[in-house]
Chains A and B, each alone.
Chain A
Amino acid sequence: MNALQSDLFSALPELWVLSMAMVILLLDLFLKPQQRILIYLASQLTLLGAGVLTVVTHVPTVGYAFNAMFVDDTLSDVIKVMMYIGTSLILVYSRQYLQLRGMFRGEFYALVLFSLAGMMVMASGQHFLTLYIGLELLSLSLYALVALDRDNVRATEAAMKYFVLGALASGMLLYGMSMLYGATGSLHISEVSSRLMNGGDHHAVMVLGLVFVVAGMAFKLGAVPFQMWIPDVYEGAPTVVTLLIGSVTKLAAFAFVIRLLIQGLAVLAVDWQNMLVIMAVLSIAIGNITAIVQTNLKRMLAYSTISHIGFLLFGFMSVSGNGLASAFFYIASYTIMSLAAFGVILLLSRQGFEADTLDDLKGLNQRSPWYAFLMMITMFSMAGIPPTLGFYAKFTVLQAALQAGYLWVVVFAVLMAAIGAYYYLRIVKLMYFDEPQDHSPIVAPFGMKAALSVNALSLLALGLLPQILMSICAYAIVQSL
């Protein structure tokens, strides 16, 4: 095997996903509208194939490819498999929604696969350029997806906001990277790291670059004070796209932070940890307090995302394997919860009706006890009530922060989580103790109902047996860093 072949072999899942995205674009041209289901099946096949390729080509060692711009390690493999599962669930949940709104077209599936490829590149990037292009591939696809419902004014406005602010954040990220390049003379993550260890007189420039990099990343994660876009985009975008932005992309953002801050700039940890503490505290406070007054369910979940991102940042307080594993555990749990919560919104939506206000959940128990139960598990998990997965996720990140010596910050976070429990439990109250406002039957394909049930019940199952997910996360971190 020559060098190029081994390079291509390491990036096999990415190549497969990109090729299939293009095949789907072409396939769409030759299909009649009633045959579009083939596109859906081809997309699911793509995800399955990518999963098989990732697992089969997995080796426990760290392998570099493409002139060390791309890394194939356990962390990237685990994150990618999680992304496939999440994206597959998104496609299952979104099929009926898209069909009812005339958005069941090849472009949607191609753009979702392109954004997945961008996320995969972010998970494997080992060079500033690769990381940046992966991020842009993801962002550009997302801008288009948000605006895909063209005649919807709110979606267009959300896409415009997302695009302008996203471009600004990318600019900041690039500017920070250029500072780091000026101070170290390299764009390779590993070389930046090793030159930082050796030479120490570029500290001022490095910190200036770091500020811009952290600001750019915080925007993509949606941490306060870079959170302005999240509520508007979550509310304005079609719910299926909100589902994508709110779940799987956070995994990619996590990988991005690991690659840049932990692998590249660990020497500057003292500097960026202070920034992260401030952002974490503000995110938890503003996210939880603002969510209380929301009447729109999607907007409420947007603020809940902001507070969850604050908790995620606690995991980065200690640059130990333990802290990073807990951050990984948190973001994986958050992805599962978010998929289930938006899945219920999609389930209750129907032709010309979006179930996106709190009133739409009223009396869900009378309409369907089973889905009310699933939503209750999800809300308990988001609030962090044992024995659900969300409890262990919060528990481990707070433990990591406590070990890093942030006692008062942890106390504050627990208080805020208690405030946050109010608006999650209010949904449970609405579902069980209020009279339903509409009595229309809940219609959904069997696959979606089954997937949603498994999704929500897994929160309970993994909450009872958190070691399963935790050991995967810890293994991935230990093997890769």
Chain B
Amino acid sequence: MIFQDFVFYTLAAILLIAGLRVITARNPVHAALFLVLAFFTAAGIWLLLEAEFLAIALVLVYVGAVMVLFLFVVMMLDINLDRLREGFWSYLPIAAVVGVLMAVEMALVLSGRYFIEAAAPVAKPAGYSNTAELGRVLYTDYLLPFELAAVLLLVAIVAAIALTLRERKDSKFIDPAAQVQVKRNDRVRMVSMPSYTEPEAEQAQQELKP
């Protein structure tokens, strides 16, 4: 138990520091990297709680996919740090007062023992499948929110495409499907023209005539 406590407090301390650095780091790339660290340590805490599937999903999905993409975006954007920090000092006094007040209020309420004390979880036997349990709960008890969340993602896709997909007037893009389906009549134009014969041939024809 002692070792587990030690691991938990270490991970929790790293998580808090990383979380704090995400919002205080001057460089956005550093902030994104600290967020990666925060995800990683959170995954460690989940492992301590025996939530292996969630821990691995967090590393694979968030660290592996989302944050890498995010890092690329942050590096591509030319963020003007000075403009972002404009007005920081003029807003600081009132923001500090409000922030400190809220922090004190929350500390007063949350430090009391108001929450329901959950019983200490019993360790699961070997061979217990976290993934199967999660799947079962998602598709039975939480079926409705799960499916609605899927619709939410669809809306996000539709919105992203509707807002960004545009046909540029100067684009030289050609639709391959249309290109393949092209017919002869689309490209070759048959023009009927009056026949023209050489004057000598005309004479010869006239001579042939009686």
Q: Are A117 and B151 in contact (CB under 8 A)?
A: yes
Q: Which residues of A contact B204 (CB under 8 A)?
A: none
Q: Does A422 contact B (CB under 8 A)?
A: no
Q: Which residue of A lies closest to B153 (CB)?
A: A140
Q: Mark A187-200, 1 if CB is under 8 A from B, else 0.
A: 00000000000000
Indicate if the CB atoms of A183 and B158 lie closer than 8 Å: no
Q: Are B148 and A121 in contact (CB under 8 A)?
A: yes
A69 to B145, CA, bound (A): 8
Closest to B106 in A: A208
A201 to chain B, nearest CB (A): 7
Chain A residues near B5 (CB, 8 Å)? none
Tell me, in angstroms, the Cα distance from A182 to B116 when the chains sit together. Answer: 6
The reply on A66 being an interface residue by CB < 8 A is: yes
Q: Write the chain B residue with the least CB distance to A15.
A: B147
Q: In chain A between 235 and 249, which residues have their CB closer than 8 angstroms to a CB of chain B?
A: none
| A141 contacts partner chain B, Cβ-Cβ < 8 Å | yes
Residues 1 to 54 of chain A near chain B (Cβ within 8 Å): 7, 11, 18, 22, 25
A66→B145 CA distance, assembly (Å): 9
Select which of A121, A144, A202, A208 is within 8 A of B158 by beta carbon. A144
Stretch among B92-100, B125-133, B159-167 lining the A interface? B159-167
Q: Which of B11-19, B56-64, B107-115, B169-177 contacts A (4 or more CB under 8 A)?
A: B107-115
Interface residue tally on A, bucketed by range? 35 or more
Do B162 and A148 touch (CB < 8 A)?
yes
Given A25-B158, A117-B151, A202-B114, the answer on whether A70 and B144 have CB atoms closer than 8 Å is yes
- CB < 8 Å: which of B116, B144, B152, B154 contacts A66? B144
Residue of B nearest to A175 (CB): B106
Contacting pair B159 A143 (CB below 8 A)? yes
B145 touches A130 (CB 8 A): yes
**Contact A204-B109, Cβ < 8 Å, known A69-B145, A183-B114:** yes
* CB proximity of A184 to chain B, nearest CB, Å: 7
Q: Can you identify 21 A-B contacts, CB atoms within 8 angstroms?
A: A25-B158, A66-B143, A67-B141, A67-B144, A69-B144, A69-B145, A107-B158, A111-B155, A114-B154, A114-B158, A133-B152, A136-B152, A140-B152, A140-B155, A140-B156, A150-B163, A150-B166, A183-B115, A183-B116, A204-B109, A204-B112
Q: Is A166 an interface residue (CB 8 A)?
A: no
Say how far A379's CB is from chain B's closest CB, in angstroms.
Answer: 35
Q: How far is the CB of B55 from chain A (nearest CB, A)?
A: 21
Question: Closest CB of chain B to A404's CB: distance in Å?
Answer: 28
B-side contacts of A111, CB under 8 Å: 155, 158-159, 162
Q: Is the CB of B114 within 8 A of A133?
A: no
When C-beta atoms are compared, the residue in chain A nearest to B140 turns out to be A67
Binding site for A on B (CB under 8 A): 105-106, 109-110, 112, 114-116, 118, 140-145, 148-149, 151-152, 154-156, 158-159, 161-163, 166
A265 shortest CB reach to chain B, Å: 16
Determine the distance from Cα of A110 to Cα of B152 in the docked complex, in whole angstroms.
Answer: 13
* A-B pairs, 9 with minimum CB distance: A144-B159, A66-B144, A205-B114, A107-B162, A185-B116, A182-B115, A133-B148, A129-B145, A208-B109
Q: A147–B163 contact, CB under 8 A?
A: yes
Q: A133-B145, A134-B148, A137-B152 are in contact. Are A205 and B115 (CB under 8 A)?
A: yes
Interface residue ranges, A against B (CB under 8 Å): 7, 11, 18, 22, 25, 65-67, 69-70, 105, 107, 110-111, 114, 117, 121, 127, 129-130, 133-134, 136-137, 140-141, 143-144, 147-148, 150, 182-185, 201-202, 204-205, 208
Contact partner of A144 (CB less than 8 A), chosen from B105, B109, B152, B162, is B162
A-B contacts, CB under 8 A, total: 91
A333 to B170, alpha carbons, bound, how many Å? 50
Chain B residues touching A, majority SS: helix
Q: Which residues of B contact A182 (CB under 8 A)?
A: 114-116
Q: Which residues on the B side are within 8 Å of A127 (C-beta)?
A: 145
> In the complex, A185 Cα to B143 Cα: how many Å?
20
Residues of A within 8 A of B154 (CB): 22, 114
Between B106, B145, B151, B152, the greatest number of chain A beta carbons within 10 A of the residue's beta carbon is seen for B145
CA distance A202 to B161 in the complex (A): 46
Q: Which residues of B contact A201 (CB under 8 A)?
A: 114
Contact residues in B for A22 (Cβ distance below 8 Å): 154
Chain A residues near B144 (CB, 8 Å)?
7, 11, 65-67, 69-70, 130
Residue of B nearest to A69 (CB): B144
Given contacts A150-B166, A182-B116, A205-B114, contact A140 B159 (CB under 8 A): yes
In the complex, what's the smallest C-beta–C-beta distance from A211 to chain B, in angstroms? Answer: 9
Chain A residues within 8 Å of B156, by CB: 140
A18 closest partner in B (C-beta) = B151
Q: A67-B144, A144-B162 are in contact. List 13 more A-B contacts (CB 8 A).
A: A18-B151, A66-B144, A67-B143, A69-B145, A107-B158, A111-B158, A121-B148, A137-B151, A144-B159, A182-B115, A184-B116, A201-B114, A208-B109
Cα–Cα distance between A211 and B116 once the two chains are bound (Å):
20
Taking each of B114, B142, B155, B166, which has the highest tally of chain A beta carbons within 10 Å of its own beta carbon?
A: B155
- Chain B residues, CB < 8 A from A140: 152, 155-156, 159
Taken together as a complex, chains A and B put the C-alpha atoms of A111 and B143 apart, in Å, by 23
A32 to chain B, nearest CB (A): 14
In the bound complex, CA of A185 to CA of B115 (Å) = 8
Min CB gap A327→B, angstroms: 27
* Residue ID in chain B nearest A105 by CB atoms: B162
* Nearest B-chain residue to A108, judged by Cβ: B162
Set of chain A residues within 8 Å of B116, measured between Cβ atoms: 182-185, 202
Q: Smallest CB–CB gap between A463 and chain B, Å?
A: 38
* A167 → chain B closest CB, angstroms: 13
Contact A202 B152 (CB under 8 A): no
